[in-house]
Amino acid sequence: MILITKNIQKKVALYIKDTDGKGLYPLRRALTIAQALPKSVQVLFIGPKKWLNNVNDFQFYSVQSHQEFITILQKTQPDLLVRDSGSTSKEDSQKIQELVPATIHFDDFGEGGKLADFVIQTLYTETFEQQLDHYVIGMDSFIADAEIAPYKQVGLSKKNISPLPHLVVTFGDEDASNLTYRTLRHLSQLQIPLKITILIGENYAHDQTELRMMALGRKNTVVQQRVENVGEVLAAADIILCSSGYTPYEVGVMGIPCIVLAQNEFEATLDFPSEKNGFIHLGLGRKVKQSLLLNAVMELLLHDSLRKKAIERQMNLNLGEGKQMVCEAILYFLEYPKRERTGKEISNML
């Protein structure tokens, strides 16, 4: 661990914005990072007001617009900005660099990432272009948070599928495309004994009436919202059906056979949840045919070798250990910032 050698306390701002249907994982990742940093680092959070109650142990600044975000940076003057707010523009990054000595971006596919000091791409797409030196791309940066870490490699303990197979369906906090409803409608056609748990997020915006009526019409099917420990529910599953953003990484930490449906075109381009990594990816959820989805479920239920191969491939990835790397990067840039606060460039030490 890099030590801060100067006596002046350093300040890190974590700016978290919910974008691209990414749900609550960016917030949970930021909290995990904040809790892992040494006490010599002062941490403050910037984000939407709805997350205020999730950040009880740290100073929190609520913002609703980009201008409010800039004003907070001018007021608080952090030494480092860790930004997890989706893709950024060149002009935006240039403005931020006039205010902050160093910047780290998470999962930034925009032109602004090229100007950031360090970019961590946990989400990634297949590309044949040469990447810039300040980008770290790949699954090794994934951080298993407090909800998931206790269940690492739980799939290895499941020698056989349960007598009543348990399928968990989750499409994140909002599920903008309402794949939850579409998926349950398809699954209702399976005429086999099957326990189905539907997890919907706190910000699920669709009418729940018909969804819950479908669940009531099928034995051993429940809809749960505001689940205290999602990791515990996922770990109890024999099969997980989810979106293709961050959830497959969490599933990969645990080692559970998984079927993936992309919520949107952005998710459809992500390269991690693939067969080589132990996932069945069916493409865009809104276009998937009922027969294709049901066949994927039945294959995992009927073929032990297919399930075991999926678990083995996921376990070989050894996911979830990215916290140290990320914290090391933060401490490095606190010790060796890329700019003075005036915006003047100083020596490049990376």
What share of the chain has pLDDT > 90, as a percent? 81
Q: Is the pLDDT of residue 329 over 90?
A: yes
Instruction: Give residue 63's identity as a one-letter amino acid code.
Output: V
Q: Across the chain, what does the average pLDDT equal? A: 91
Between CA 169 and CA 160 the distance in angstroms is: 20
Cβ contact 227:233 at 8 Å:
yes
Angle between helices 90-97 and 66-76 (to 10 degrees): 20
pLDDT, tens digit, for every residue of 9-37?
899 999 998 766 677 899 999 999 999 99
Model confidence band, residue 284 (pLDDT cutoffs 50, 70, 90): very high
pLDDT recorded at residue 275: 97
CA distances from 71 to 85, 99, 192 (A): 17, 10, 58
Identify the CA nearest to 248 among candidates 25, 79, 50, 64: 25
Q: Which residue has the tokens 């979106």?
A: 243
pLDDT computed for residue 20 by the predictor: 65
- pLDDT of 151 above 80: yes
Q: 10-143+322-335, superfamily in CATH?
A: Glycogen Phosphorylase B; (3.40.50.2000)
Residue range 38-94, pLDDT digits in tens: 999 999 999 999 888 889 889 999 999 999 999 999 999 999 999 999 999 999 999
Query: Among residues 348, 329, 337, 332, which one has the least CA distance to residue 4?
Result: 332
Q: What per-residue confidence (pLDDT) applies to 162?
A: 83
Does domain 149-317 fall under CATH 3.40.50.2000? My reply is yes
pLDDT tens digits, one per residue of 97-133: 999 999 999 999 999 999 999 999 999 998 756 788 9
pLDDT of 1 strictly over 70: no
Q: Is the pLDDT of residue 322 over 80?
A: yes
**Domain positions in the chain:** 10-143+322-335, 149-317
pLDDT recorded at residue 347: 44
Checking if the pLDDT of 276 tops 60, the result is yes
Kindly provide the residue ranges of all beta strands, DSSP E only, lying in the chain, ordered along the sequence: 10-16, 41-47, 59-62, 80-84, 103-106, 118-121, 135-137, 166-170, 195-200, 221-225, 239-242, 258-262, 279-284
Q: What is the per-residue pLDDT for 21?
A: 66
Structure confidence at residue 320 (pLDDT): 96
DSSP 23-91: TTHHHHHHHHHHHHS-TTEEEEEEE-GGGGGG-TTSEEEE-SSHHHHHHHHHHH--SEEEEESS---HH
Higher pLDDT, 5 or 211: 211
Q: Which of 130-134, 256-260, 310-314 has the lowest mean pLDDT?
A: 130-134
